[in-house]
Each structure stands twice: as C-alpha cells, then as structure tokens.
C-alpha cells in the first residue's frame, strides 16, 4: 500500500476531527457557548433571550430621528432595540470547533497544545468582537429604517459588513488563526517548508566529480 503524503494524512485527520467536533459542538457545547457568549456580550449590551431562542439586543446610540409623516415631531433616541435570530447567533460560536479540528489534525499534539489553548482564548475574544460589531451595524440599519432614508453607499457597506461577519469570517478566521499560531502547520497545509534544505550531492556523483577534477589538473 503506497504511503500517504503528509498533506493527505492531514486532510484525512482534519476531516474526521471536523465531523466529530462539530457534532460535539452541536449536541453538547452549543448551549454552554451561547450562554457564555451572552454573558460576555452583556457587559457591553443589554441582551434578553426570548422563549424561541432569539436574542433581543439593546445597543446604546444617541441619534435624532427626523420628523416623518407618521411622526411629525423629531425624536431623540438613546438606544436601538432589535432581534437577532438564534440561527444568526450560532454563527458566532462556530469558529472554535473548526479551530480545534485544524490544530488537532496537525502532527505532534505536544507541540500543538500551546496553540490550542492560546488560540481558543483568542477565537473566543474574536467571536465576541464580531458579535459586537454585528450588533452595532444592525443597530445602524434599524436607525436608518426608522429615519426613513439613508444613503445607498452606507446601506451597501452595512449589508456587506453583516454578510462578512455572519457568513464569511466565522469560517475563514479559524484557518488564519491556526496558520498564525501553529509553527510548521503552514508546511502541512500549503506544502511550504519553514527551512529549505540544501541540495545534497550523492556520494558516488561526488567521487566522480573529484576524479574528473584531478584528471584535469594532471593534464
């Protein structure tokens, strides 16, 4: 049976670990992670979980809403309330099990332990930051709707930000974090090497080269 390349072994280990850890995350770890995320975000926002599992967020914001036909008097608001579906909140816990699968798939568990612990803490902080930015963008979207207007460029930028935070960064960040923290992992994923080995001349070829040099000197 042909020996598998290191990159192939890494992909096989990573695939098995990814399925296993995502199953563990979905059935056992999701609720505790959401609870800890809500507690951490609660230091910055007022969050209430609804019976359906959706979150109601209150984002502090000082804004004056102009008068509209429905509301003829301008209003001063101090916060914006809006709901985030549970399915959107789940995206901000997805990165950690993916990161675990990448790190544990790398050869040498002892060498991966530091990256595993440090990366888990950094991934948790990153997910919290992404949730807070997502909430801020959503609050500005709600304020723009209440104001009954807004520039098209601003609306496009906010939609792009929401898309990146909920649908792109949770999937891309674990790979970037793993490549940054785990020395040598880049070589197993991208076939790069931290050190370039110097070419070695075979012994027989080296002796033949020396004989030819001696013959040239004799002539």
Paired with 58 in beta bridges are 46, 81
Q: Is 140 a member of any domain?
A: yes
Q: Is 214 a member of any domain?
A: yes
Per-residue pLDDT of 8-41, as tens digits, reads 888 899 999 999 999 999 999 999 999 999 999 9
Q: Is 125 a member of any domain?
A: yes
Closest CA to 94 of 47, 36, 26, 45: 26
State both tokens at 58. 């209150």
CB contact set of 85 (below 8 Å; sequence gap of 6+): 54
Closest CA to 90 of 10, 22, 155: 22
133: domain range? 6-218
Q: How many domains does the chain have?
A: 1
Q: What mean pLDDT is reported for the chain?
A: 83
The predicted structure's pLDDT at residue 32: 97
Higher local confidence (pLDDT), 137 or 73:
137
Q: Is 115 a member of any domain?
A: yes
The predicted structure's pLDDT at residue 164: 95
Report yes or no on whether pTM surpasses 0.95.
no
Per-residue pLDDT of 143-180, as tens digits, reads 888 777 667 888 899 999 999 999 999 999 999 999 99
CA distances 84 to 61, 96, 196, Å, are 18, 21, 50
Q: Is 35 a member of any domain?
A: yes
Q: Is 58 a member of any domain?
A: yes
Range with the lowest mean pLDDT among 28-32, 100-104, 182-186? 182-186
Q: Is 1 a member of any domain?
A: no
The pLDDT of 40-64, averaged and rounded, is 91
The predicted structure's pLDDT at residue 197: 42
State both tokens at 77. 């608001």
Angstrom distance (rounded) from CA 132 to CA 60:
12
State both tokens at 105. 């798939």
């Amino acid at each position: 049976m042909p020996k598998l390349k290191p990159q192939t072994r890494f992909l096989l280990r990573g695939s098995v670990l990814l399925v296993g850890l995502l199953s563990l995350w979905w059935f056992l770890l999701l609720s505790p992670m959401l609870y800890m995320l809500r507690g951490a975000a609660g230091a910055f926002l007022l969050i209430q979980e609804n019976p359906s599992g959706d979150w109601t967020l209150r984002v502090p914001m000082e804004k004056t809403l102009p008068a509209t036909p429905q509301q003829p008097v301008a209003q001063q608001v101090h916060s914006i309330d809006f709901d985030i579906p549970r399915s959107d909140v789940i995206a901000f816990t997805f990165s950690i099990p993916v990161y675990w699968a990448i790190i544990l798939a790398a050869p040498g568990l002892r060498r991966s332990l530091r990256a595993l612990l440090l990366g888990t803490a950094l991934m948790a902080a990153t997910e919290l930051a992404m949730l807070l930015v997502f909430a801020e963008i959503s609050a500005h979207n709600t304020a723009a709707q209440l104001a009954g207007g807004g520039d098209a460029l601003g609306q496009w930028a906010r939609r792009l930000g929401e898309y990146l935070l909920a649908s792109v960064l949770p999937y891309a960040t674990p790979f970037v974090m793993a490549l940054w923290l785990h020395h040598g992992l880049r070589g197993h994923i991208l076939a790069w090497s931290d050190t370039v080995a110097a070419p070695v001349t075979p012994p027989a070829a080296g002796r033949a080269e020396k004989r030819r040099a001696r013959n040239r000197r004799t002539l």
